[in-house]
Amino acid sequence: MKAIVQDAYGSADVLKLRDIDPPAVGDGDVLVQVHAAGIEAGVWHLMTGMPYLLRLMGFGLRAPKNPVRGLDVAGRVEAVGRNVTRFKVGDEVFGACDGSFAEYACAREKRLAPKPGNLTFEQAAAVPISAYTALQAVRDKGRVRAGQKVLVIGASGGVGTFAVQLAKMYGADVTGVCSTTKADLVRSIGADDVIDYTREDFADGTRRYDVILDIAGNRSLSHLRRALTPKGILVIVGGEEGGPWLGGTERLLRAALLSPFVGQKLLGLVSAERLKDLEFLKELLEAGKIIPVVERAYPLSEVPEAIRHLHNGLVRGKVVITVPGTAEESGPPTAPRTENL
């Protein structure tokens, strides 16, 4: 099969399109014929091996243990392991796996859910990791409720577009922070107000928020706290600043150390994959309560360019990868091609 692989850590230049063997299917695994795969910040970190903490966490010291990149996936089931009970060959699925930038990817059964019937594969691939993160930030850490004022910093990105919609769904008055060219997008997904960070400072003292979701990750704790109410909650979702060893984790640690000594709650989020959350998101998507924002789809061969585009901060919503030779539109499952393993 064709896949995007890397033999060493580095920039997008280390990514190459190659022919490799399909992944082996274990007893609890689902083999997915990939129709589309999403790109998010985690892919860039795993590609570069930065911060170095990632390498110490088991991803590989000198080179990635898994050479195939990609986490978000949407496609059709090609084969299932003998212990799999929730899926059969031909089912349309979406979720997370290791190595989705390929014609086939293998995922544990609990990492997948039936694809929302009202979404294309491209739209479904834009959901999993970003929407997981937004849901857990808004609902679990921020505990957003009706009537609260919520500030979403980085509102136009993959996580941010879901966070704005989810905060609105829970009844909050939502302000999104983004650049001039993305303000129309943030308003279109439900933001009550938009702050253009190139023209004004959200922490200028004129406004206070009950919950701040910091997805952009490039502002100091003191700056963020100025925009919080005295008993407000700050949720640090992202972070591209910091040193080479800890990266954005440095800010999470500082927040954890400071939080017990101030009236505000300063919380860091490390999102977790939970099947119940993926199934909940599926319900919201099918009900039209949230929608994925897909700026552009790149073919598999152009993954390096797609990652460069994402890392430059130019993306409105999400970019996704499509695999040539697969149907881009959802429809009735295709005839089974592989028996259960």
pLDDT, one tens digit per residue, over 118-133 is 999 999 999 999 999 9
Q: Which residues sit opposite 234 in a β-bridge? A: 212, 266
**Whether residues 257 and 296 fall in one domain:** no
On whether the CB atoms of residues 79 and 47 are closer than 8 A, the answer is: no
CA atoms of 11 and 14, how far apart (whole Å): 6
Q: Which residue has the higher pLDDT, 193 or 337?
A: 193
Spell out the SS3 assignment of 123-162: HHHCCHHHHHHHHHHHHHHCCCCCCCEEEEECCCCHHHHH
Q: What is the CATH number of the domain that holds 13?
A: 3.90.180.10
Report residue 64's pLDDT band, with 50, 70 and 90 as the boundaries: confident
Query: Do residues 60 and 140 share a domain?
Result: no
Lowest-confidence pick of 51-65, 76-90, 287-301: 51-65
The CA distance from 278 to 284, in Å, is 10
Question: Looking at residue 201, which CATH number applies to its domain?
Answer: 3.40.50.720
Q: Are residues 258 and 137 in the same domain?
A: yes
Residues 108 and 142 in one domain: no
Mean pLDDT for the stretch of residues 29-57: 80
Query: Which of 90, 31, 7 lies closest to 330, judged by CA?
Result: 90
279 assigned to some structural domain: no
Domain boundary among 253, 268, 283: 268
How many separate helices (H) and strands (E) can be counted in the chain?
10, 15
pLDDT digit string (tens) for 186-215?
999 999 999 999 999 999 989 999 999 999
- For residues 204 and 307, state if they share a domain: no
Same domain, 83 and 176: no
- Tell me, yes or no, whether 183 lies in a domain: yes
Domain extent for 101: 2-127+292-322
Is 29's pLDDT higher than 70?
Answer: yes
Assess whether 117 and 139 both reside in one domain.
no
Distance CA 275, CA 273 (A): 7
* Inside any domain, residue 222: yes
Predicted local distance difference test score (pLDDT) of residue 45: 73
User: What integer pLDDT is reported at residue 60 of this predicted model?
Assistant: 66
- Do 11 and 117 have their domain in common? yes
Owner of token pair 């984790």? 249
Position 16 pLDDT exceeds 80: yes
Q: Would the pLDDT of 330 be above 60?
A: no
- Dist CA 30 CA 168 (whole Å): 35
Q: 331: pLDDT confidence band, cut at 50, 70 and 90? A: very low
Q: What is the mean pLDDT of residues 26-54?
A: 83
Assess whether 146 and 120 both reside in one domain.
Answer: no
In a domain, 177, yes or no: yes
Q: For residue 288, count CB atoms less than 10 angstroms from its CB and return exposed for 0-12, middle for 13-18, buried for 19 or more.
A: exposed
pLDDT grade for 55, boundaries at 50, 70 and 90: low
Q: Which residues pair with 80 in a beta bridge?
A: 30
- Residue 338 above 60 pLDDT? no
The answer to whether residue 230 sits within a structural domain is yes
CA distance 122 to 292: 9
pLDDT at 53: 63
With pLDDT > 90 as the criterion, what percentage of the chain qualifies?
73
Task: State the total domains in the chain.
Answer: 2
Tokens encoding 291: 């929608």
So what's the pLDDT on residue 93?
99
Same domain? For 264 and 135 the reply is: yes
51 prior amide bond cis, ω within 30: yes
List, for residues 68-100, the tens digit of each pLDDT value: 989 999 999 999 999 999 999 999 999 999 999
136 or 9, which is more confident: 136
- Are β-strands 228-236 and 265-268 bridged in parallel, bridged antiparallel, or unpaired? parallel
Q: Do 14 and 91 share a structural domain?
A: yes
14-23, 71-80, 225-234, 321-330: segment of lowest average pLDDT: 321-330
Q: Looking at the structure, do residues 252 and 314 belong to the same domain, yes or no?
A: no
Q: Specify the pLDDT at position 56.
A: 59
Going by pLDDT thresholds of 50, 70 and 90, the confidence category of residue 329 is: very low
Predicted confidence at residue 313, as pLDDT, reads 82
Domain presence at residue 336: no
Mean pLDDT computed over every residue of the chain = 89
Which residues are CB-neighbours of 283 under 8 A, at least 6 positions away?
A: none
What's the average model confidence in pLDDT over 162-189?
A: 98
How confident is residue 339, by pLDDT bands cut at 50, 70 and 90? very low
Span 224-251, pLDDT tens digits: 999 999 999 999 997 656 556 455 677 7
In a domain, 72, yes or no: yes
pLDDT given at position 242 = 58
User: Is 341 inside a domain boundary?
Assistant: no
Kindly tell me if the per-residue pLDDT of 134 is higher than 60. yes
pLDDT at 296 over 50: yes
